[in-house]
Structure 1
Amino acid sequence: MAEAASEADEAPKKKTKLPLIIGLVLMLVLGGGGFFAVFTGMILGGGEPPAPTTPEIVPEAIPDIAFIPLDPMVVSMQGTAARHLRFTAQLEVSKAFVADVELLKPRVMDVLNGYLRAVDAKSFEEPGSLVRLRAQMLRRVQIVTGEGRVRDLLVIEFVLN
C-alpha cells in the first residue's frame, strides 16, 4: 500500500506542447512552400506565363479618292422670319470620275440650292436633322452625276442665321 500511496503522491506527468508546436511549424513551412511553388509556376503554372502579344495593326490603304469643293451657298429659308442658311460642302469621288463630276458641278449646285430652299426651317430644329438632310442631298447629287461617281457628301459648314 505504501507503493500505491507514493504513486498517488507523485504529480501526474504534464502533457507536452512539443507536438503542437512542431505541427504549427510544419504547417507554416509547408504552406509557405506550397504558396512559393504555385506563385513561381512550379506547380499549376505550366511553365513560364505566355508573353503578352499585341496584334500588329496594319493600316488599310487609302482609297483612290479626291474631294471636289462646292461653292459656298447662302439660301433664304421658307417661313415668316427672314432666315438664311450658309452651306458649304465637298464631294468625295473616285479619282477616275473627277473630270465628270467637275463638269456637272453647276447642276449639283442647282439641285442642292433647290432642295435647301424647299426645306422648312423648323425641320432644322429636330435632332438628327443634319444626318437626314445630308442623306437626301447625297441621293440627289448621285442622281445628277450618275450612280457610282459620288461616294459621299461632306458638310463643311451648315449655319442657320
Structure 2
Amino acid sequence: MAETEETRDEKKKGSKLKLIILVVLILILGGGGFFAYKKFFASSKDEESTPDKAPQLQQVITHQLDTFLVNLADPGGKRYLKLTIDLELDNPKVIEEITQNNYKIRDTILLILSSKEFDDISTVGGKLALKKEIMTKLNSILTTGRVLNIYFTEFLVQ
C-alpha cells in the first residue's frame, strides 16, 4: 500500500509539472504572437494614418506640337513621314517660350525629319536616335528651360 501511495504522489507531481510546463508554453507563445502582431500589423496602421509621410508625385509637364508631314530623303522620293510629338518639359514657362518660337522649333524639326531616309528611322534604334537629335536641337533653342523627353504619339511612314 505504501508503494501505491508513492506512485500516486509521483503521478500527481508529474501531471502538475506537465500542467505548469503547458501553461508556461502557452504564455510564451501568446506573448510572441502579441509581439509579432504589434510589430508587423499595428505599425502599418500607424503609417497609414499619417499622410504627411507619403511621397508626393511630381506632375509631368507636357506640350503637344502640331503634326509634321514631310517627304523623306529616299532616292525615289516616294515615302513620307507623318509624326506627332509630345514634349516633356522641366517647367511650365517653357510652354510659353515654345509658343513664341513655334516657327523656329517647327523649322528645326522639319529640317531634321526631311534629311532622314526610311532606313534611318525604320528601326527602334533609329527612332531613339531621332528623338535624341530632336531633343538636342530643341534644347539649344530654348532658354527658359529644357526638354526632358520626347514622345512620338503618332509615327507613320508610307
Q: Shorter-chain TM-score: which interval?
A: 0.5 to 0.7
Q: Is 1:138 aligned with 2:102?
A: no
SS of residue in 1 equivalent to 2:70: strand
Q: Which amino acid aligns with 1:72?
A: T
Name the CA shift for 1:128/1:28 in 2 (closer, same or farther; >3 Å): farther
For normalisation by structure 2, the TM-score amounts to 0.63
Question: RMSD over aligned Cα, in angstroms?
Answer: 3.8
Shift of 1:46: 6.1
CA distances 1:49-78 after superposition (whole Å, capped 9, x unpaired): 232223641424647x5x443221122233
Decide which of 23, 27, 30 is 1:40's aligned counterpart: 30
Show CA shifts across 1:94-147 (max 9, x none): 333433321211121111111122233224343444333212211111112347
Question: Which residue of 2 is the match for residue 52 of structure 1?
Answer: 43
Q: CA deviation at 1:40?
A: 0.9
Comparing 54-63 with 85-94, greater Cα deviation is found at 54-63
Note if 1:118 corresponds to 2:115.
yes
Instruction: Choose which of 81, 91, 95 in structure 1 pairs with 2:87.
Output: 91
Larger Rg: 1
Is the counterpart of residue 77 in structure 1 residue 72 in structure 2? yes
More helix by proportion, 1 or 2? 2
| CA distance, structure 2, for counterparts of residue 99 and residue 47 of structure 1 | 56
Structure 2: segments with no counterpart, 5+ residues: 1-6
Q: Matched residues, percent identical? A: 15
Report the count of equivalent residues. Answer: 144
Per the alignment, do residues 149 and 47 of structure 1 end up closer, same or farther by CA in structure 2, a change over 3 Å counting? closer
Deviation at 1:80, TM superposition (A): 5.3
Report the TM-score, using the length of structure 1 for normalisation: 0.62
